[in-house]
Amino acid sequence: MFLFFYLLAAMGVAYWARRDGRRPGVWFAAAVALTPLGASVALMAMDRWFRR
């Protein structure tokens, strides 16, 4: 059950990345490797300081 929620949260980070125009595959891999919380904080920082 933990693995399911972990991957679901990682997919949420990838969805957020896709909505922002970034590559979702890279952010999904980052969320699986780092943790979804760490990747979402990194994505939020990228959105704030490195806008497209």
Number of domains in the chain: 1
Q: Residue 18's closest CA among 5, 33, 31?
A: 31
Give the C-alpha separation, 2 to 51, whole Å.
33
Task: Name 8's Cβ contacts closer than 8 Å, sequence gap at least 6.
Answer: none
Domain span at 22: 2-49
Structure tokens at 18: 């896709």
pLDDT tens per residue across all 52 residues of the chain: 999 999 999 999 999 999 999 999 999 999 999 999 999 999 999 989 987 6
What's the pLDDT at 8?
97
